[in-house]
Structure 1
């Protein structure tokens, strides 16, 4: 784990370690801030994250036809509000 100042001073070492397959954590004010990893690792993680996720349009098409609500949903009446 690197402090932000150390990571800035030794950025080449941070990048070399990330390219070697070791993600590098950087802290800012003592708290975890970022992780530096290789572009190949990032692409692999992003592909894995999106592999099981369909498109937003497919998600919307999966809703019930006509936007009908389930039968077991309780009916709610609005309350009177005085202005």
Structure 2
């Protein structure tokens, strides 16, 4: 049985890739490690294909953090009086 997590000196966990066949055979362990150790990478033909994450992490990462207007309002460039020149190129012809 191989271990699928490396513990670094700082105590953080680093996922070791799971080949698809091994992920299928050990799905319960893969899920448990995603919940306890963090994201788990599943590979196909030796290349990363997907990542399994806990529901808690998924919700945290996909949570909306505000509107686009709020993002721009919080920009460190707001009020920097930056002058941006508008392009004056002629529009191109399009066949419809």
Q: TM-score range by the shorter chain?
A: 0.5 to 0.7
TM-score (ref. length: structure 1): 0.63
**Does residue 54 of structure 1 match 2:80?**
no
SS at match of 2:68: coil
Match of 2:59 in 1: 43
TM-score (ref. length: structure 2): 0.55
1:21–1:37: 8 Å Cα contact kept in structure 2?
Answer: no
Relative contact order higher in (CA < 8 Å, ≥ 6 apart): 1
Give the structure with the higher percent strand.
Answer: 2
Size of the alignment, in residue pairs?
63
SS at match of 1:51: coil
5+ residue gaps, structure 1, are 56-69
Bigger Rg over Cα: 1
RMSD: 2.5
Rate the CA distance shift 1:78–1:32 in 2: closer, same or farther, 3 A.
Answer: closer
5+ residue gaps, structure 2, are 1-16, 70-83
C-alpha separation in 1, matches of 2:59 and 2:42 = 20
Match of 2:45 in 1: 29
